Structures are given as C-alpha cells and as structure tokens.
Structure 1
C-alpha cells in the first residue's frame, strides 16, 4: 500500500494526538488538587498528593507534608499518623529549597528536643 506525503503526515499527526492524550491522562498530581483535598478535610488524600509532589521536588508540597506528619492525628485525624523522622526529612527538603517557614518549624522542633 502506498501513502502520499499528505497521508503520512495525517497518520503521524493522529498517532501523536493519541500519544499526547495518554500522557495528559497520566499527568502527575498538581499542587492545586492537594490544596483542594486539604481544604475539604480529606487530609489523608492531601498528604498522599503532597508527598508525591515532594518526591518530584516541589518544596511547598514537602513543607506541607512535613508539617502534617509532624502534627499527625492530633490535628488531622486518625488517617494521618505522626512520623517525626519523615516530617523532618520533608521539612529539611523544603528548607533547603528556600522555604523559610519550613526552616522555622525545624528550628522549633529542634529547640524542644
């Protein structure tokens, strides 16, 4: 079967559209979704999203996840268990990326040890 140059271009365009549609559907979680879950009281979901974003290098998400893990169930309910070691690692990640409030929280926790 022979294709004209124009037919090949249409086939390539169609294939790329399908490929990019798949990529768009597999899009990683966005910070806005994590914030929305948080403000709706879905703390376990927001923590999961924040941690995923932190793993991708998002400093704000690292700070928020660290704060949540520092306080745990006392503020966020039984679905968010405190994890001081993980919280410290996330807050350090955020502080190293320039998040001043993460540095402040780290300083507060270190001064109470």
Structure 2
C-alpha cells in the first residue's frame, strides 16, 4: 500500500508541474520526441469535446505536447487510484469477512 501511495504522490507532483508549465504565460518549453502528441487510446472514446480540443493543428506543437502529457498523467493517476482502491477493498474484505465453516465470524489475525 505504501508503494501505491508513493506512486500517487509522484504522479500528482508531475501533474502539478505540467499544469504549471501549461498555465505559465509566454513560456515556450521543448519536449523530448517521446512526448505524447495525441489523445491516449484509453481516452479516445470520451467524446467529441476532448477530441476537438486536442486535435492536431488546433494548438501550437509545444502546447499540444503538454496537453497530451497532462492527459497521460491524468490517465495514470486514475489507473493507479483504481488499483489502490481495489487493493484496499480486498484487504478490508479479507479482514472483515473471514468466516469459519459454521458461518460464524472469527477474530481477525
């Protein structure tokens, strides 16, 4: 659980840095070629508003890359939070619903 919390903190810090760069007036930042410039596949079916907002050519190249990076970071945060919640639910279920064959609850270990 600690590892997931640390991942979440790291991703939130990355997202905040990207948002700060995006909102900074008049800053031009170069990005590595591995920077995303399209909508991630996991967000492709969200709807026309997203695809229109991030359509190629609608924004300068550096802003488009930043928008893609923000979408990727948000997608990673969502995935990690979902995984974290599933693990938390599983741990809680194991702790609370452990039963013996006669149906009585036993004390948590």
TM-score of the superposed pair, with normalisation by structure 1: 0.30
The structure with higher relative contact order (CA 8 Å, sep 6+) is: 2
Whose helix proportion is higher, 1 or 2?
1
TM-score when normalising by structure 2: 0.31
